[in-house]
Structure 1
């Protein structure tokens, strides 16, 4: 593949920056993060003006409301981004963590955490990812190349410039944080094949984006995100908890990957529980697409199509199915789930433990909303994404997940015989 000279220059600068970042002290990295947090607040109006341009353009294009909401920044949102940077400062630096042991022959071996190198982030119209990714990569000693969605380009230009200039003023290597301002798809296609410049690429967004990167990239990929998340309401589940948890999981922020897409209801309680849940969802404006039994109980539900069970709506739509028992619920999740987040509402300890042990997902809950699958809520600070694969990271990815291991061996004229 022929690479753009401009893109090669970006890759080389990132590689050079990563080399220096790898041994930057925790104190210096924290100073840079604090400066970045202050800079966001100092440039708040500039950021909001740029974001307004993106929002107006998105509305004119007819982008659906839930995605416009993800794109929109407010004064409160900018303060939250600033606060998230300060939270990362307070997190332990994983670089240098490790263990040490001595072999019987006297060879001393040290295993220690080191940065991945150059991280490329490909994501959609969420400007906050620009700041979160930059913060986590910097703290973990990685250079980052950011490629956000075209819908957020004006916001991302200002955000990346503000935080990169702030970090450089505090002595961080030039080009530690870079944004691809060219939104041409060809640049992404080239970025995905820049082995030798990029060490790992992390896609964050909808199923289409993620699968494109997974299938086309020659650079190692950490797959994140697609969330066809389920809640199973057991026959021994508390109805009040069930309504509250399902409603929160679906409506709190419907356009994110940990939002609920399907609710499964034990047949023994469906006729009692579904009207309680359905009324609350319907009154809020949630469209319900149900199986035949659901539609018989809820006259305002529309009949689900076969493709509904595997759809990540990212909108105020939910599919509902009545199942025989926990086994059928787990079978359904096995068939249609994306190994993201699943929850059970039950007061039965044995059933809860079966669900926890047998459901294969990054996060499995008992009596809690799927919306908790988040680096901040898990205590990791900001997150770079939620991995749904098993290598090398799974679940919310914080600082430790942006490092790898290195072995350092001390000998005294040791040779193999």
Structure 2
């Protein structure tokens, strides 16, 4: 059996299992759903030893294979990170569910239009070797009453198996839900990612996260197969320093933007206004060089595209591009034309400059005197995310959460009979 055939069969089996279990989640009551999330939080503590042991094995293999420090940081779990994951699950459990039904308007003849929210059924998710995402996406699927099939980078597969088998599945079972509702592709290799996006009848929607080229390729493959995707392919935060910027705040935001190097929303392109270029650039280059680990600032002339995302360049994650801008409008233009459009911030005390920059920047997240590291589902919305969608088309944009993972259905009923329809669980 070829690797491609084996991957297709493994993914199809997981998708059929999740699809069959989706009815369990669709019919679940709010108390059951939230009990499953709280159970996951508890089990992250109870199963910490085997989960961390599996992660340690993954980490050692990845380091021996030459994985860079930024990617190793994303792969690593420790007790503190497990506690943070558990806290997010408890927070999500306390978030009220979205209304399952709402009345839109009255029609002639004593009729009303209602909008009903329905689960998709089963959703696929392909993401980078980042174990916390296993729990983030599983939690969002459960909260939205969708089943799912998860596929992670091979480097994190051992940790993912431990999380699904010791945390997610037992929590679902304890809450009276089908533990098969969240499946995991346990076959390493890119063939399984390709197979995941070729199951439109079983997995009509697939969430894609990861490096730009591979994610774009999977999105194209999905489109040819008729599978819809929510893709998070590219990132890279932009920070523009206006002449009116408070110097201490500017230095602080630059450092906060690189507190982690392997994440999409970290500082990637630092724009310094031409009017303060000679003053600020040497200071900031020195500031980054004195950080531990030190950051290499790449000054003009640049041999790479301005928006080149260093977080995806294994071995060169500790890099920031520095370039001049001739004002807020020019900085916004550079961010719009040369970067992915993930997030950009202006550091300025001049409100008119901030207004001009934010009005002209069309990316997913705009910030004033704040770090682009805030573009994160939990930091912005107090809800974990499945990914950040940066498409410039209608639909969920920015951090995608459980509130976005539903189908809209319009139902017309007699107004007098509407109270007789019980709400969804």
Per-residue deviation, residues 351-391 of structure 1 (Å, max 9, x unmatched): 21121121111100011000000111113321111111134
SS at match of 1:320: strand
Aligned equivalent of 2:216, options 208, 211, 219: 211
Q: Distance in 2 between matches of 1:165 and 1:189?
A: 29
Local SS of the residue matching 1:311: coil
CA RMSD of aligned residues (A): 1.8
Whole-angstrom CA distance in 1 between matches of 2:309 and 2:382: 26
CA gap of 1:213–1:95, structure 2 versus 1, over 3 A, is farther
2:22–2:181 Cα contact (<8 Å) kept: yes
Q: 1 CA distance for matches of 2:321 and 2:11? A: 43
**Partner in structure 1 of residue 358 of structure 2:** 356
Change (3 A) 1:20 1:406: farther
Q: CA deviation at 1:97?
A: 4.7
Pairing 1:404–2:407 present:
yes
Q: How far does residue 328 in structure 1 lie from its aligned partner after superposition?
A: 2.1
Find runs of 4+ consecutive structure 1 residues off by over 6 angstroms. none
**Structure 2: where are the runs of 5+ without partners?**
312-316, 416-425
Displacement after TM superposition at 1:337 (Å): 1.3
Determine which of 309, 315, 318 is the counterpart of 1:316.
318
Tell me how far apart the structure 2 counterparts of residues 151 and 184 of structure 1 sit (CA, whole Å): 10
Q: CA deviation at 1:4?
A: 3.5
Deviation at 1:166, TM superposition (A): 2.1
Cα displacement string for residues 143-167 of structure 1 (whole angstroms, at most 9, x for unaligned residues): 1110011001110010011211221
1:330-341 correspondence to structure 2 within 5 Å = 330-341=332-343
- Normalising by structure 2, we get a TM-score of 0.90
- Residues 54, 152 of structure 1: 8 Å contact kept: yes
What secondary structure sits across from 2:27 in the alignment? Answer: coil
Q: Is the Cα contact below 8 Å between 1:140 and 1:399 reproduced in 2?
A: yes
Equivalent residues in 2 for 1:150-165, closer than 5 Å: 150-162=154-166, 163-165=168-170
When residues 345 and 107 of structure 1 are mapped into structure 2, their CA distance, relative to the original with a 3 A threshold, is same
Q: 5+ unaligned residues in a row in structure 1: which ranges?
A: 293-303, 413-417
230-239 vs 165-174, which deviates more?
A: 165-174
Of residues 252, 256, 265 in structure 1, which corresponds to 2:272? 265
Partners in 2 of 1:260 and 1:5 — Cα distance? 41
Match of 1:380 in 2: 382
1:43 aligns with 2:51: no
Distance 1:366 1:191 in 2: 39
Residue 164 and residue 174 in structure 1: after superposition, are their counterparts in 2 closer, same or farther (change >3 A)? Answer: closer
Which residue does the alignment assign to 1:191? 196
Distance 1:116 1:354, change over 3 A: farther
